Structure 1
Amino acid sequence: MDAVTLANSARTDTTPPADLSPTLKTLWLARAGQWDAAHDACQDLPDPAGAWIHAYLHREEGDYGNACYWYSRANKPAPSRNAPLEDEWMQIARALC
């Protein structure tokens, strides 16, 4: 599944596609506005991709300090506090799809 299809699915479908990997399901949940479910799911992703999604979620939450910790765990530079969340979500999706 490509990033645009994943984004569209998260905006229109009530449940994630059954064939998504745990990482993409977590990203889908984040896009679908299911912050708590996405946060719970990323706790089970021990790799840098999970840390990147975790960082994104904390930036979305407004906890920039915690987000910066997770960006470092993901080996990714932290975007500025004001960087558009939409752009970052697409960047993550393009990298992981």
Structure 2
Amino acid sequence: MEFESFIQSVAQQKKPGNLSRQLEALWYDGIGDWQKAHDLADGPSDRLSARVHAYLHRKEGDLWNADYWYKRAGEARPSCSLNEEWELLVKRMLEM
């Protein structure tokens, strides 16, 4: 799937099939369902899920918790905007 198609699916609120759990979490966040996004990111212990989890807590404003999850993901909290971080994560997941 290409980034523009993903963005269109968010705009139309029509979730595509065959999304990874992490990408599905970002999709739900994109449509404004933070809780569903968090529920998806909060189960697995892999680094990609931790990275999405970190972003979600940063968005929530819980920076202490976000920093914990960034560390679990092996990354530092980015200095970009939340929108830029979301886009970077989506693009990263789509390239996998």
Q: TM-score, normalised by structure 1?
A: 0.86
- Where do 5+ consecutive residues of structure 1 fail to align? none
Q: Deviations over 1:32-53 (max 9, x none)?
A: 1110000011112321110111
Equivalence for 2:24:
25
How big is the alpha-carbon RMSD for the aligned residues of Structure 1 and Structure 2? 1.4
Partner Cα distance (2:24, 2:61) in 1: 22
Counterpart residue number, 2:4? 4
> With CA pairs under 8 Å and 6+ residues apart, which has the higher RCO, 1 or 2?
1
Runs of 4+ in 1 over 4 A off after TM superposition: none
Specify the alignment match of 1:35 in structure 2.
34
Give identity over the alignment, percent.
38
TM-score w.r.t. structure 2 length? 0.87
Aligned partners of 1:23 and 1:45 also within 8 Å: no
1:4 to partner: Cα distance: 2.9
Unmatched 5+ stretches in structure 2: none
